A and B are shown apart, each in its own frame.
Chain A
Amino acid sequence: MKLLRSITILAGLLLACASAQAAQTNVAVAANFTDAAKEIAALFKQKTGHEAVLSFGASGQFYTQITQGAPFQVFLSADDSRPKKLVEEGLAVAGSRFTYAIGKLVLWSKSPGLVTGEETLKAASFAKLSICNPAAAPYGLAAVETMKSLNLYDALKPKLVEGATITQAYQFVETGNAEVGFVALSQLTGSEAGSRWVVPQELYNPIRQDAVLLKAGAGNEAAGAFITFLRGSEARAIIERYGYVLDGQS
């Protein structure tokens, strides 16, 4: 009985703390932005007291979930077309959309010296090349565009393996199951291991990553604050550190 009572008191205290705390918002984050978003959310909490609860996935997957009423208040996509479509469909707040980052595509291998440049793709001396699903993930689309620009898509197609998200494409290379893979530069931040080739911008359409306030977050204080924070200099410094280009600087 004593134990039960102390549990009840403890639970009551926790509830009291939670309600006294600032607001919370659910944010859908494109997988490539995972590490940067975590850092931004931590700083966001420290500065504003609000909590951003992050979910990570492929942009296409989130888009479908949002059209089906997923309880997200903010969407950080890896492209600009899906946020735009959500605004057009009345699922996102018009005027809230902005480009928070421009992504960079990288060809990456864990083996030093394997990736030297586009000649690596031409030589194709690897068995598997991992990308993420081009239909659901913008970095996958950029990877396909790159191979098409180099006229290598048909030759490389039999070697492609697809991850559901850019995180899985990365993990296929990380576990050694694929020798090379197209990943986001942000995923390689803080490590110089292996070999990499930052794909020149002219080979693929810029990956303009847009954020948007969703209709479900229109009245949510924390959601609005998160969007504002994402535009601020502190968040921009983090975004830049992860290898993204900021809008208006490219």
Chain B
Amino acid sequence: MEIWSAEIRQSVLLTVELAAISTAILLVLATPLAWWLARAKGWWTEIIASVVALPLVLPPTVLGFYLLVLLGPDGPGGWLARLWGARTLAFTFEGLVIGSVVYSMPFVVQPIRNAFAAMGERPLEVAATLRASPLRTFWTVAVPLARPGFLTGAVLGFAHTVGEFGLVLMIGGNIPGHTKVLSVALFDYVETSRWREASMLAGGMVVFAFAVILTMTLVDKRAARAAA
């Protein structure tokens, strides 16, 4: 009896790939956004922050519905897909990456924003008096100080993408190797009464989630000790 079937291996690899790529894109997009949110003053700042945080509250089916329409042949996703001769971004790995980035954005932006806000103006002012350019200040002062925030954001973004389900079910099309990620594979196994595979995947996810939470707690503790 093969424990680690090709089918399961494929969905695990696909999930890790999706989460890794999404996290990388998320960090690139979230960093300037979090920086701006942490420092901008004005009523619109919190409006933008609320828009970014929407996926925290919205059911994934709301995002799934909008994405299905937006990624489809009559939406912007369809125009984009036409660049390489495809008709739609739904049912593609790229489509899932777009969905994951939207869906996990608040989990990455929030910790980084908090870390930027927590350091206050002082270190940046000191750097400015030492004639560091704003860009240099950002890379050599702000980013290192906000490291725990980046770590938390990256881990949460990765974990949340791994845990994505409703969205993928709605825009994925269940294609092995392209869109059949772990959570959907698990749903499939349960639907078809394949308990053995289902319990393997579910058990693995429990261990993974536990490891994530434990890591987060330890990171937080270390950061708190370093700050003290």
Contact = CB atoms under 8 A, between A and B. Distances in A.
Given A60-B192, A61-B191, A136-B188, A175 B173 contact: no
Interface stretch (B22-30, B87-95, B100-108, B111-119): B87-95
A58 interface: yes
Contacts of B73: 176-177
Prevailing SS type, chain B contact patch: loop
Interface in A61-78: 61, 63-64, 67
A217 interface: no
Interface residues of A, number: 23
Nearest to A179: B87
A178 B173 CA distance: 10
Contacts of A58: 191
Given A127-B87, A162-B173, A177 B71 contact: yes
Interface in A151-168: 160-164
Contacts of B86: 127
A135 interface: yes
Interface residues of B, number: 22
Contacts of B74: 176
B191 A64 contact: yes
B188 A176 contact: no
A136 B175 CA distance: 15
Contacts of A135: 188, 191-192
B51 to A, nearest CB: 25
Given A127-B86, A175-B72, A177-B71, A161 B175 contact: yes
B72 A162 contact: no
B5 interface: no
A67 B192 CA distance: 12
B105 to A, nearest CB: 24
A133 interface: yes
Given A130-B173, A161-B175, A176 B193 contact: no
Given A162-B174, A164-B169, A176 B191 contact: no
Given A128-B87, A136-B188, A177 B72 contact: yes
B20 interface: no
Nearest to B87: A127
Given A160-B175, A176-B74, A177-B68, A133 B188 contact: yes
Contacts of B192: 60, 64, 135-136
A65 to B, nearest CB: 9
A130 B190 CA distance: 22
A242 interface: no
A172 interface: yes
**6 residue pairs, one from A and one from B, having the closest CB atoms:** A161-B173, A162-B174, A177-B90, A135-B192, A136-B191, A176-B73
8 contacts: A128-B88, A128-B173, A136-B188, A136-B191, A172-B90, A177-B71, A177-B91, A179-B87
Interface of B: 68-69, 71-74, 78, 86-88, 90-91, 169, 173-175, 187-188, 190-193
Given A177-B73, A177-B91, A178-B173, 18 more contacts: A60-B193, A127-B88, A128-B91, A128-B173, A135-B188, A136-B192, A160-B175, A161-B173, A161-B174, A162-B175, A164-B191, A176-B73, A176-B78, A176-B88, A177-B71, A177-B72, A177-B173, A178-B91
